Structure 1
Amino acid sequence: MAEQQKDNQSLRDLALALFQVGVDAANPAHGLARAFEKHPLLPLETGRYLIIALGKAANAMAETCLKALPDGTPFEALVVTNYENAKAIDGASCFAAGHPVPDANGLAAGQAIIALLEGATAKDQVIVLISGGGSALVPAPIDGISLEDKIAVNKLLLANGYAIHEMNLVRQTLSQLKGGGLSQLAHPAKVQSYILSDVVGDDLSTIASGPTSPPLGTAKDAMALFADKGLLDALPGAVRTALETKASSEQDSPPADLSNSSNSLIGSNAISLEAILEALPMGWRGLILDDLLEGDVEEVAPMLRDAVAEAPNGHKTAYIWGGETTVTLKGDGKGGRNQELAARFALAAEAEPITGCWVFLSGGTDGRDGPTDSAGGLVDPDSLARMRDADTDPAALLANNDSYKALQASSDHIEIGATGTNVADIQICLIDRS
């Protein structure tokens, strides 16, 4: 037993180290610096640089951009990030706002961005620095929609298992800034965006709800998402009215003019997965099984267990995934998709045991999984026993979506703090059958 625990700890240490490699590979400052080295920012004859940084990586991206500005060029800078990452930045107006549920500070930040863009001229250059989380951090509701309405819609989306592109389609429809709205407000100024992707497939229209990219769909599409799940009547009245009004008029509306915008991708989940693969110690074989992992964690967990169960004998194998799963809330517990995926993997591995020594990690690269201080979970064959020894019932806790308490009981939380970056989630399963 002591030898097995020693082996488990060795695998746990390696899994955490590999996860950190993935986080480090998504360093936004390094990615943006490389972009500026390739295409330096040039002096403007008479205009200003208007810099807008949105998302969990906004601080590092804004600081890198300010250092890259040509000497003596006038500029204004607005930075909006989550509370955990907030700090003062010389030369910038900084806002800390709520995530994943928007709040009044985010509303104020959105109003400040709109005011800045309304003063833009053809002589100005707008630089937009976009990273994950920007959507919730900057609510800018269309006329007739209140912040409370936006919060209610956001909670409805989060509680009903919508995929990120579905949530952002709705957010775009109800926003002045999302779905290309920022670029339209910036006319006639040119807009150059640098984007750190936190979404599966790196769809630029989905990242932070695409403030400089075309919308994902129409108001009619947004209404269909709620209708399909029988949730139209759960919408605030003002929101339903706004969607119906937009849907009735959008057929006659011209497509959004984003001819003033250019977008550059500077980092992604795929880059992080490759870095993990390259960092495997000698003697380990590695496979990236999926860099587009999606789906409800209750269904995904047994799929991942089945994928690794046939690991080859006589070898040490690392299986790697990346993406963004979802959770359908059925209870009132505390947790996040990564914590729940890890705990459900442990249950699946107990129901159909995996031979050999193994550990499974699921973590968010932003360092925060849901509304908790945990980045995710790291489980091993003894995790469920530790939960039960602490007088907790893991199956009952997960039925209440209380993955945080389950992993707390087994000491299986990943606690790395806010990372200042976000390229979605990483899963690692290490199996030693050597």
Structure 2
Amino acid sequence: MTQSLHDTALELFRCAIDRADPAAAVRAHLATQPLAPLEGEGRRIVIAVGKAAVPMMRAALATLPEAPATALAITNPENQADLAGAEVITGAHPVPDQTSAAAGARALDLLKNLSPQDQVLMLISGGGSALMVAPAPGLTLTDKAAVNEMLLASGLDINRMNLIRQNLSQLKGGGLCRAAAPARVTALILSDVIGDDLRAIASGPTVDPLGTAQDARALLQDQGLWRTLPDTVQTHLSEAGAAHETPVAQNILIGSNRFSLEAMRDRAEALGWQVPELIADLTGDVTEAATRVLAAAHSAPMDRPVALLFGGETTVRLTGTGRGGRNQELALRVAQAADGLDGDWVFLSGGTDGRDGPTDAAGGLVTPQTWAEIAQAGADPEALLNNNDSYAALQAADALVSIGGTGTNVADVQILLRRPA
């Protein structure tokens, strides 16, 4: 264990990112669990949707035993790339627009008139919900945008918002499977959702919906939101008939925050670190998350090297005008409490997509000296923290983690390495 704590933390962070590599995950799965052979004159259609659509499609095309009849990748403009053997189009994220609607229409067109001998391979990653949209009959993209704006301001949790969104869509909540019927559907899924609820990833195009139109209407009425809806949406939810049964798809999780935590654990143990229980639900406000991290550190054994590994996605309460992100602020808050943590330690918090907030950093890596080093550089760490200016604070102490875009996203990971002084 001669490697520095700083370098070990960065190695474990890279390990988490590598495990979430979308292309590697697709290749590994298809190599060990190939798709069933096509029957008769059956065709194979491959549709990839999400921010990782291009690398996932590239890996599938290179791994499948024969070229698919049709291959479509739907991604965001920043990740668009030419791909031999596939059509690549873009939608908008995080707010869908007409390009998203065109992408949804293109996907639905490919799923028309399939037979039981046909096979659909879906490659799903985060962002798919906005990149590919298809409003339910009678609704427009403007209607859906108005509902989405209302939901984001409503305080409803993500599952209840998705219940409503799914009932306004032809694709969400199993809609893709219904459109593809009677063809067989297999979905390889890279999760950006803590807890890996498949119904929430890209709003669950290949899984059962969260509820019916009647459930959505009752929720909106109970929350006092019904009369804020466009008239067309009220009519749609009131007149929707019985829910159509969703054909069963084979849904396979090939990458997630939990998988990345397990990869970090295996590497840390190979390097000689003791790893207590993985903490896979570090969510909520960064202030509370920092308290939780420090509590775990205080309760860990003091007589041996320990690696505390966390995963999740925190939130920041913005009260200032500074620049930063949830991972940078979490790291800075842990640095603030350095006096209360004995031993030699480092703490890293980073986004697996390589981007934290509106900055070029993935997060921060702090030590017992970081808070003092910010002050020594002529900055006021307390004032910067109060202004949500974690980027400037960490930059002053050379404590930013900057690795560039990674091409994947399985939320955030945190690493606290601690050994006796």
Cα deviation for residue 85 of structure 1 reads 3.0
Q: Does 1:258 align with 2:252?
A: no
Q: Does 1:292 align with 2:281?
A: yes
For the Cα contact (< 8 Å) 2:143–2:232, is it kept in 1? no
Q: Does 1:205 align with 2:199?
A: yes
Change (3 A) 1:194 1:359: same
For the Cα contact (< 8 Å) 1:373–1:417, is it kept in 2? yes
1:45 pairs, out of 32, 40, 45, with: 40
SS of alignment partner, residue 254 of structure 1? coil
Residue 138 of structure 1: aligned partner: 132
Residue 3 of structure 1: aligned partner: none
Q: Does 1:326 align with 2:306?
A: no
Residue 366 of structure 2: aligned partner: 379
For the Cα contact (< 8 Å) 2:46–2:68, is it kept in 1? no
For the Cα contact (< 8 Å) 1:135–1:168, is it kept in 2? no
- The amino acid of 1:86's aligned partner reads Q
Change (3 A) 1:46 1:144: same
Q: Does 1:341 align with 2:330?
A: yes
Residue 411 of structure 2: aligned partner: 424
Quote the Cα distance in structure 1 between the aligned partners of 2:219 and 2:377: 42
Residue 359 of structure 1: aligned partner: 346
SS of alignment partner, residue 295 of structure 1? strand
Quote the Cα distance in structure 2 between the aligned partners of 1:28 and 1:201: 19
Residue 301 of structure 1: aligned partner: 290
Q: Does 1:124 align with 2:118?
A: yes
Gaps of 5+ in 2: none
Quote the Cα distance in structure 2 between the aligned partners of 1:356 and 1:294: 26
Change (3 A) 1:354 1:32: same
Cα deviation for residue 24 of structure 1 reads 0.9
Cα deviation for residue 374 of structure 1 reads 2.7
Q: Deviations over 1:61-112 (max 9, x none)?
A: 21222233343x6511111223443311111111244433434433332222
Count of aligned positions: 418
- The amino acid of 1:324's aligned partner reads E
Please provide the CA RMSD for this pair. Answer: 3.5
For the Cα contact (< 8 Å) 1:290–1:320, is it kept in 2? yes
Residue 20 of structure 1: aligned partner: 14
For the Cα contact (< 8 Å) 1:288–1:321, is it kept in 2? no
Gaps of 5+ in 1: 1-6
- The amino acid of 2:363's aligned partner reads G
Change (3 A) 1:282 1:388: same
For the Cα contact (< 8 Å) 1:160–1:329, is it kept in 2? no
For the Cα contact (< 8 Å) 2:345–2:416, is it kept in 1? yes
Deviates more, 1:87-96 or 1:377-386: 377-386
Change (3 A) 1:288 1:24: farther
For the Cα contact (< 8 Å) 1:161–1:296, is it kept in 2? no
For the Cα contact (< 8 Å) 1:184–1:258, is it kept in 2? yes
SS of alignment partner, residue 205 of structure 2? coil
Identity percentage of aligned residues: 50
Cα deviation for residue 387 of structure 1 reads 4.2
Cα deviation for residue 228 of structure 1 reads 8.9
- The amino acid of 2:247's aligned partner reads S
